[in-house]
Copies of this chain bind each other. A is one copy, B any other.
Amino acid sequence: MLLEEVAMFKELDPLLHSQLRLAVISLLASLEEADFVYLREKTSSTAGNLSVQLEKLSEAGYIEVEKGYSGKRPRTTCRITETGRKAFEDYVEALKSYF
């Protein structure tokens, strides 16, 4: 029984290996809560793109999305979950194997 070589580079979670999703998670990791408009502004993304990516993060259980109102206007609020936080930490750790 030989020693298998340990993989040199760690897998990069494809859900986080996306510029916009990574930016979103990065923001939520330090803010704990942010709404759609704030995220759109800080990430300089289009609403369409952001909407799609939030949906993916939400499906993966990395964030929670709450659709409510601020006065009469719709307001979508996002929070990172523990799963999401862990995934973010793992992603950062995995990246280190590339440097």
Residues of A near any B CB (own CB < 8 A):
7-9, 11-12, 17, 19, 22-23, 26, 42-44, 92, 95, 98-99
For residue A37, give the distance in angstroms from its CB to the closest CB of chain B.
14
9 interchain residue pairs of minimum CB distance: A9-B23, A26-B98, A8-B42, A12-B19, A22-B98, A7-B44, A92-B99, A23-B98, A9-B43
* Contact with A26, one of B17, B23, B99 (Cβ below 8 angstroms): B99
Given A17-B17, A26-B99, 9 new contacts (CB under 8 A): A7-B44, A8-B42, A8-B44, A9-B19, A9-B23, A9-B44, A11-B19, A26-B98, A92-B99
Among A7, A11, A22, A98, residue most surrounded by chain B Cβ atoms (within 10 Å): A98
